[in-house]
Structure 1
Amino acid sequence: MPTLTLENDVRQFLGSITRRERRFAAAGTLITLLVLVPVVAVADPGLVPGTPAQSATEQAVDAARGDSCRDTLPADTPDYVVCRWLTPPQDAAAVAAFWGADGGANLEQAQPLPAQYVRCNRKTDLSTSTTCKGGTTFCRQLPSGWYQCTDETNGKVTYERYVNGKKQVQSTPPPSPSTTTSSTTWPTSSPTPSSPDTASTPLPTPTPPDETLPPDGNPPDAGTPTTDPTTPSASVPTVTAEPTASTTPTTPEPGNGAADGDFIATAKKARLRIWLESDLADDYLAGDTAFTAALQQLVTDAKRTDVTGVKFADNLAYTGFSTEQQVIRFLNRATQALRAALPGKRLAIGVVVPELGCGDSQPCITGLRKRAPLVTKQHVNRYLRAGDVDRVEIAGGLFGRTYRQYQVTDPKTGKPTSITPALATRAQWMSVKALEWDTLAQIGVREYGLAHTGDTSPWTMAQATAQIEARIGTAIGLGASTITLWGHKATADGQTYRLLNAGLADNPTWNGLTGQGLRGRLAVVIDPTSTERGAADIVHYAKGVSEIFILI
């Protein structure tokens, strides 16, 4: 049979070459992987496919340029996610030389060693030479953990091991495992850095910050969109007003029946996946009577076969709750009730984690943790692991003015630069990957930064394209599965926010979104109590989105 013949040929080949030849083959394979594999991964993930060349816009993530998470994320980010294995092509040769130098001594000291290995007896740069000076030594691991190493030029045998990074060598055999055990231990995981917000730390009661996130998703501080803040000629329109702590918009009262009528029917006809959204957190905090009534209303509306799922909490724990345990109890009670009442329906929540956009700016992280102590990444990580939900929408496009008050170091120039929307988005989604939240649920974005105030968007096509690339392109390129657009005639701070222009008129932002072919990844939020033309608004959005969240 062909397979057996190939297997026999491989065995004959491996049996016919010397140990030294096998060693060089392994070294050659290592060097090839280090040099060639990164070249394959130079595609730019930060651009929306099909966009024209950028002009005076923020640059997206680019591995070929040397971008890595070391210049973006804080020190407690797990290195294995990006920093250790992503080697830009321009650094690959240096990496190969490092591991091949001195007969592979650096590789040997890196630990843990394989069960068997061969080393050069004298210093040799295997990245430039094909021979070992002074011959080779073959080492194999013993049950005690020690290595028995035989010099293949003179037959001399030594016994070696590493303890706390220091090499121990002796000429006599070590004791057998029955009388002693190796003191060498390998950690199974990296120690967790200390954090000011561990589970044992008392949590202060949150006070209303100067950026308010109400239950229905009104945006605090979406930021001032720009093309490139470093370009003097760039036109920078101001499209949002700074909200205040006194902002208290609320969701429509349950029971208006709007979601049961034309809106669901119209969304179904437009072939949209339909989600119903109601924030049950405030009702839970108001007591059993209010929570039961709100839960029953949501269940009644969601039992329709046309409904894919329900989103029952938005910006969870940003305000209202006083302890982490209280948040987890709410999640457990809500999910258990909804699972029982709505079998087969998907459950979703929304979270906001301000510090994720700070990158490695510790002052930014510290400041935002103080403002919203229950939505640090450690707390939200525990919420997601405790809650039984299928989808999580992470708020994006918020805190723009706050981020710009802090600086990070530009990896290319070494100079400080303000945290821009693209940098904040990049930092957020690299953090999400590092935290492995995408293994717990479908992770998407609720994007607030593309909405404008007033009847008409002030952005030109170039400005809109820059914002789409910075916010949506970077998020999708770094793993966001879906983008839910907020701002269809939504009110906050006495102003109306829009994605389209008044009267459902298209604008550069909408044209830029629909021109990217992203319909399958886009969703929109619509409040039936605040529309342009009632359910007809859905028909217009169906041209560019595939999902809809209907507020009830």
Structure 2
Amino acid sequence: MRRRLRQVFIIGLTLSLLGIGVPAWSEDDDRSCNDLMAADTPAYVVCTWMATPEEALDIANFWLSDDGQNLKDAGPMDPITIDCDEPGTVCPTDSEGDGEMHDVGDPDVPGAEDGGTPECQNGEQCYTDPNAITEAEKAAAMETPTGKAAQAGVQTTMRVWIETELADDYKAGKLDEAAKKIAALAVAQPGVVGVRFTSQLGYNDTFATAEELDKFVTETSAALRKLLPGKKLSAHTVVPVLGCGANDSCKTEITKKYPLLDPDRVGAWLSQGYIDQLSLDNGNLGTEYATWKIDAAEAQRNQWIQVRARAWDAYAQIAAEDASFTGTAQLTDEQATKAITERIAAPLQDDAAETVTLWSRWQNDQGQVNRVYGEKWAASATWEQLKKLGSVRARLATIYDPANPEVDVATDLKNLSEVFGQVYLHAA
């Protein structure tokens, strides 16, 4: 038996290109099985025996000796039984069924033995699921820009999500209507992974109190769970206090500034199953902590240490999100490599974020467009460097607005699939 230590996910650029160090694992370790791996195995992939071949033989001999007597002795324990006739024992009497034994094939509906037909087996519709999405609603969803993009997206190598904002609908008392509309997009197209239902949760001024915030998360999650059984739910936010690390002064002031973004509250959303994926934004790391002389790299490191310590990844997938890559189309090769190292490699290496979501294109209210790539998909140093990250493509995601394409939806999604393994399709 042997196991691999969890692979440190390094970007598909060469290590020398990114300048990322690799720990020096000792070849003298008597539990190392690195000698069994191919000579071209990357240095960051290591092999360690859970039990050496000698130990494995001893284990096998223990269980198999004496005609397997130890294995027989380790059989299942006697089942726990309850005697309902024993004085003082109370057994439930409100279970389904009539409490009587019946032979296989006996009728389960009164009158069926006389040729009657059980209720609801004559072809009539006995029950209508109020949460079901109708075929008409699905058809209407597929005619929207997002629906058409979903059809094109699943034809690429990318996993497809639907992305929207339900907080405003919730505040307006229209959650059920909005949730059903967005759910139709997710169920109409086979292959859609799930729905990201909010962004900047608790960071913007949509909700004034923690109680309002919690109520939105719980009620929206419940509504979508009913409509989307088996689909994933995602949310985006930022938890600024995590960047403070052990600096108590920083933690005190940041908590006052962002009172709704309590890590324990966010952790509860995960542990209670309201959210399957949490995206943590890196946008404030460069400026928020200057008062305490905490730079962006240290703040990012602090954040992911805190996430690991809280074991959030035991409850949900954790993603790092970075919108600052838009506007990098004019970077040089060296600058692009540095940005990739700091904003993509570092979160993955810190072993807390499992994916990184990059905004690849963003358009402001004045119509100004910022891109990672060049206009109309012209070449750029940043985009060419990102295309080299093939080994971690599945861990890279982006957000795409089909209502504002760069060229057209098919062309855009094809180009995005050369870098990203997942795409969030925006639905207004």
Size of the aligned set, in residue pairs, is 303
- Equivalent in 218, 226, 230 of residue 332 of structure 1: 218
Distance 2:265 2:177 in 1: 29
Distance 2:21 2:378 in 1: 33
Q: For residues 123-166 of structure 1, give each alpha carbon's deviation from its aligned partner in whole angstroms, at most 9, with x where no partner exists.
A: xxxxxxxxxxxxxxxxxxxxxxxxxxxxxxxxxxxxxxxxxxxx
Corresponding position of 2:167:
281
Corresponding position of 2:199:
314
Distance 1:265 1:444 in 2: 25
Corresponding position of 1:475:
347
Once the two structures are overlaid, the 10-residue window that deviates more, 392-401 or 340-349, is: 392-401
Q: How far is 1:279 from its partner?
A: 1.3
Distance 1:255 1:283 in 2: 21
Corresponding position of 1:297:
181
Corresponding position of 2:233:
347
Distance 2:210 2:268 in 1: 9
Distance 2:330 2:242 in 1: 29
Distance 1:545 1:260 in 2: 20
Matches within 5 A, 1:43-58: 48=11, 50-53=13-16
Distance 1:484 1:548 in 2: 9
Q: How far is 1:298 from its partner?
A: 0.4
SS at match of 1:303: helix
Q: For residues 315-362 of structure 1, give each alpha carbon's deviation from its aligned partner in whole angstroms, at most 9, with x where no partner exists.
A: 212121122222222122112111111112111111211222233334
Structure 2 contact 330–381 (Cα < 8 Å) conserved: no
Distance 1:356 1:430 in 2: 9
Once the two structures are overlaid, the 10-residue window that deviates more, 327-336 or 364-373, is: 364-373
Structure 2 contact 281–320 (Cα < 8 Å) conserved: yes
Corresponding position of 2:132:
none
SS at match of 1:369: helix
Change in Cα spacing, 1:508 to 1:291, as seen in structure 2 (3 Å) is same
Which runs of no fewer than 5 residues in structure 2 stay unpaired? 25-140
- Give the root-mean-square deviation of aligned CA atoms: 2.9
User: Is the radius of gyration larger for structure 1 or structure 2?
Assistant: 1
SS at match of 1:325: helix
Corresponding position of 1:356:
242
Corresponding position of 1:490:
363
- Equivalent in 285, 295, 299 of residue 424 of structure 1: 299
- The alignment status of 1:531 with 2:410, answered yes or no, reads no
TM-score, normalised with respect to structure 2? 0.64
Change in Cα spacing, 1:322 to 1:541, as seen in structure 2 (3 Å) is same
Q: List structure 1 runs of 4+ shifted beyond 6 angstroms.
A: 60-64
- Equivalent in 437, 444, 458 of residue 330 of structure 2: 458
Corresponding position of 1:540:
415
Q: How far is 1:434 from its partner?
A: 0.7
Distance 1:508 1:449 in 2: 16
Structure 2 residue identity aligned to 1:546: G
TM-score, normalised with respect to structure 1? 0.51
Q: For residues 236-271 of structure 1, give each alpha carbon's deviation from its aligned partner in whole angstroms, at most 9, with x where no partner exists.
A: xxxxxxxxxxxxxxxxxx99921112x112211113
Structure 2 residue identity aligned to 1:466: K
Q: How far is 1:430 from its partner?
A: 1.3
Structure 2 contact 142–185 (Cα < 8 Å) conserved: no
Change in Cα spacing, 1:266 to 1:317, as seen in structure 2 (3 Å) is same
Q: How far is 1:399 from its partner?
A: 4.1
Corresponding position of 2:394:
520
- The alignment status of 1:380 with 2:380, answered yes or no, reads no
Change in Cα spacing, 1:255 to 1:264, as seen in structure 2 (3 Å) is closer
Distance 2:373 2:15 in 1: 22
Q: How far is 1:438 from its partner?
A: 0.5
Corresponding position of 1:270:
156
- Equivalent in 437, 444, 450 of residue 312 of structure 2: 437
Change in Cα spacing, 1:492 to 1:386, as seen in structure 2 (3 Å) is farther
Structure 1 contact 331–387 (Cα < 8 Å) conserved: no
Corresponding position of 1:499:
372
Change in Cα spacing, 1:330 to 1:255, as seen in structure 2 (3 Å) is farther
Change in Cα spacing, 1:385 to 1:326, as seen in structure 2 (3 Å) is farther
Corresponding position of 1:236:
none
Distance 1:283 1:469 in 2: 39
Structure 1 residue identity aligned to 2:396: L
